[in-house]
Structure 1
Amino acid sequence: MESVRLTEAVGYTVGELLLISAEAFDARVAGTTLRRVLIDWPWREIDPDSANSWDGTVAFPRDPDSYDWCNTPWRLEPDPSDLEAGDSCFIGIPPTKVIVIGIEKFEPPADFGFLPRPEYVLEVVPVDMLDDEEAGFVLYLNGEEPIELERVSVDG
């Protein structure tokens, strides 16, 4: 798998300001550790032909004050520190302004162990964390996650 760095693709441009959001959806807690809550990810399938294994979960910090929340737009309700295996929760993305800092195209689509295999990735960072070199996350443009992406003007 090779990736190509681009400055624009599929209608997006590096430096562009976006507003991202996702309605809160029901999800199930698959398990917990001292530091993480594992959520059964409802928008991806395990790739049976993958060279990589993925167990169908995505991990989030249990501590609501954890720095790791800078690396995901998703938020959980109730508070992740209160969740236990088998619990139901809501997962969504509150409206968040982000800047596109990179665009990557995978040729062939990336094998991360899940389907659909990512083809294009937007690398973004929340506007209020632009000075933090460690903050940011990626959005898989051909993924099934119900993320709304809206272009906004710099003064909007």
Structure 2
Amino acid sequence: MVHQVGDEVIVSCEPATARVVEKHRYIVVEWPWRTADNSLNIRWNGQVALPYGDSHQEWSPYRLEPAAFALRPGDVCTVSIPPTRLYVGHYEKYDPPRNLGWTPAPTAGIHVIPPERMDMDREDAGCMLYLGGADPIRVEPAGN
């Protein structure tokens, strides 16, 4: 399904176990769904940095259990996106799949924005999620 700018959607991602690698301005975890693709010139280290804390300007729909504030490097946590009502900032279809350094490569990208951040600059307000690859992200139309 192709999503249009401004569409209201419900985004979710089933939980998976991850290990905390670093904690500073971001909390860095070993990403549980992707595998690094070493055949490419693009190198991905298998980790994703997630913003946390109220003072952080960036936003992500991913949630950690236990909460990021309670985690330390070496801890194991659960990463997920609980069903969340968001707006589409933009949508990109990738044909062929986009090589970002991991496998399987995503076939689409969707930039999502929470309702409370819709009055901000769209690029700064939301988060890009990659679809059609290994991350089990679901995007469904929001029923009004």
TM-score higher than 0.5 here?
yes
Corresponding residue for residue 10 of structure 2: 19
Listed as ranges, the matches of 1:1-156 within 5 Å are: 10-29=1-20, 31-61=21-51, 63-70=52-59, 72-133=60-121, 134-153=124-143, 156=144
- Flag the 1:66–1:43 CA change in 2: closer, same or farther, 3 A: farther
3-state SS of 1:81 partner: helix
Task: Pick closer, same or farther for the CA change 1:22–1:106 going to 2, 3 Å.
Answer: closer
Unmatched runs of 5 consecutive residues or more in structure 1: 1-9
> Cα gap change, 1:66/1:110 in structure 2, threshold over 3 Å: closer, same or farther?
farther
TM-score (norm 2): 0.85
Q: Which runs of 5+ in 2 are unaligned?
A: none
Q: TM-score, normalised by structure 1?
A: 0.79
Following TM superposition, the consecutive aligned residue runs of length 4 or more in structure 1 with deviations greater than 3 angstroms are none
Tell me the amino acid that sits aligned with residue 64 of structure 1.
G
Taking only aligned residues, the RMSD between alpha carbons, in angstroms, comes to 1.9
Bigger Rg, structure 1 or 2? 1
For the 8 Å contact 2:23–2:73, the answer to whether it is kept is no
Output the CA distance in 2 between the equivalents of 1:109 and 1:100: 20
Q: CA 1:18–1:120 in 2, change beyond 3 Å: closer, same or farther?
A: same
2:58 touches 2:126 (CA, 8 Å); kept in 1? no
Q: Determine what percentage of the aligned residue pairs are the same residue.
A: 37
Residue-pair matches, total: 142
Q: State the Cα distance separating 1:14 from its structure 2 match.
A: 2.8
